[in-house]
């Protein structure tokens, strides 16, 4: 069985065609073909350069397709082994690294971050008032769990009342869209230590604020493990799982495997994104010093789906255990109440969770997922035993392809 799966994946990588396991009848092949038409339509209309889509059912590929171009200007077609910048999908791997260290007793979920990064021992909050901005002390220490659930009050520093302060420290507006650090000529801990001296935008535990939380956790991994984040991820997660294409920076010899970034221009039609922090980024020729746990990784659809299958399978895959089942349950259930959403979505320790059917399209209760700034997205659905991955490179992203793709996957699920 394993040899047949590998053969299918190899053929798919070469041809970009769709393959399915003949014995799997949970998905209708006729209905899955609707995804082909959808993706091709977006490419033909110049709303998307290209995409790779992958759906696993019980760990087996039922749909895999590459359409369009990885680089239109260079004439390179998209293939299923094309590499993508996955931005915030990095957060799931960094959260996994943190939980692995929690299991070893090296980190406590309720432990103050200041135990690892001293500048976080006495944090502050910027508060708007009638006369402008006041900086007040945080009412309590920020914990590891606050960072995992994005309830620490830490943004990307692009809000108008703090942007100038962050920019002066090389963060926020000075870091592209705030989250980008691939061009920084310093280790991530240096950047995060500086972040700890800046005021945040909400009190710990009082709001869901999306920002540098997981980048801080990447530094915590380094401090608690005694090794750089890239080495920890490689030796503890990607290496054991066989994820050979999930890395913070690409070797120069593989630059042609990296898909180009496009932007949604006039009327939603794509244009090639510029070089630099708001476009192509420094993932090949960068300083290779900043391993950003919040948004730094590159990967393939196959690699990322395999990582997610490990999570779906309770922390283990093919005899390799990364986390305990109880730990995975903690990560993938809502740990933030209604701070993230009041419409049926929650946030666990690294993943957005589906707590009510209909709050995330057709995803079942117990599903979890997230996405990345370059347009990549994923969902793991426990009820249907499925892993769904869509890889594109579009920033800023004004397309609705992610929601339509999810709908077309679920409409093909007939058992």
- Tens digits of residue pLDDT in 182-191: 999 999 999 9
Q: What is the mean pLDDT of residues 323-333?
A: 98
Alpha-carbon dihedral angle through residues 401, 406, 411, 413, given to the nearest 10 degrees: 140
Q: How far is CA 324 from CA 92, 96, 399, in A?
A: 16, 11, 37
CA dist., res. 155 & res. 407, Å (int):
31
- Residue 13 confidence class, pLDDT cut points 50, 70, 90: low
Say what the pLDDT of residue 48 is.
97
Model's pTM, two decimal places? Answer: 0.93
Structure tokens at 57: 């059912």
Structure tokens at 28: 């209708």
- 60 Ramachandran zone, left/alpha/beta (phi>0; psi -120 to 50): beta
- Residue 25 confidence class, pLDDT cut points 50, 70, 90: confident
- Residue 15 confidence class, pLDDT cut points 50, 70, 90: very low
| Inter-axis angle of helices 90-103 and 301-312, nearest 10 | 40
pLDDT for 62 beyond 90: yes
pLDDT for 1 beyond 50: no
- Residue 114 confidence class, pLDDT cut points 50, 70, 90: very high
CA dist., res. 267 & res. 313, Å (int):
42
């Amino acid at each position: 069985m394993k040899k047949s799966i590998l053969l299918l994946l190899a053929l798919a990588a070469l041809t970009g065609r769709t393959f399915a396991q003949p014995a799997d009848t949970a998905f209708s092949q006729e209905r899955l073909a609707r995804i082909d038409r959808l993706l091709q339509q977006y490419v033909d209309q110049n709303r998307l350069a290209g995409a790779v889509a992958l759906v696993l059912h019980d760990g087996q590929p039922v749909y895999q397709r590459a359409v369009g171009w990885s680089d239109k200007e260079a004439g390179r077609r998209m293939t299923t082994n094309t590499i993508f910048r996955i931005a915030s999908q990095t957060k799931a791997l960094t959260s996994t690294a943190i939980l692995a260290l929690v299991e070893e007793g090296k980190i406590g979920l309720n432990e103050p971050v200041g135990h690892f990064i001293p500048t976080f021992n006495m944090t502050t909050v910027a508060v708007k008032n009638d006369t402008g901005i006041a900086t007040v002390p945080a009412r309590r220490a920020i914990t590891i769990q606050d960072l995992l659930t994005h309830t620490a009050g830490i943004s990307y520093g692009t809000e108008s009342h703090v942007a100038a302060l962050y920019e002066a420290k090389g963060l926020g507006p000075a870091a592209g869209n705030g989250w980008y650090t691939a061009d920084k000529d310093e280790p991530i801990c240096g950047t995060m230590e500086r972040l700890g001296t800046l005021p945040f935008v909400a009190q710990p535990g009082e709001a869901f604020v999306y920002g540098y939380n997981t980048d801080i956790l990447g530094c915590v991994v380094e401090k608690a493990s005694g090794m750089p984040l890239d080495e920890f991820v490689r030796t503890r997660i990607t290496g054991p799982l066989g994820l050979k294409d999930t890395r913070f920076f690409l070797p120069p010899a593989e630059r042609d495997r990296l898909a180009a970034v496009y932007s949604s221009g006039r009327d939603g039609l794509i244009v090639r994104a510029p070089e630099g922090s708001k476009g192509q980024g420094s993932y090949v020729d960068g300083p290779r010093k900043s391993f950003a746990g919040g948004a730094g990784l590159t990967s393939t659809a196959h690699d990322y789906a395999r990582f997610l299958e490990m999570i779906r399978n309770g922390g283990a895959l093919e005899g390799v255990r990364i986390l305990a089942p109880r730990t995975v349950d903690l990560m993938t259930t809502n740990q933030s109440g209604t701070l993230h959403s009041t419409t049926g979505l929650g946030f666990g320790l690294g993943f957005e969770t589906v707590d009510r059917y209909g709050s995330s399209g057709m995803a079942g209760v117990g599903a979890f997922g997230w996405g990345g700034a370059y347009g990549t997205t994923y969902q793991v659905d426990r009820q249907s035993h499925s892993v769904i991955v869509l890889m594109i490179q579009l920033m800023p992203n004004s397309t609705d392809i992610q929601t339509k793709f999810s709908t077309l996957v679920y409409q093909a699920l007939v058992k």
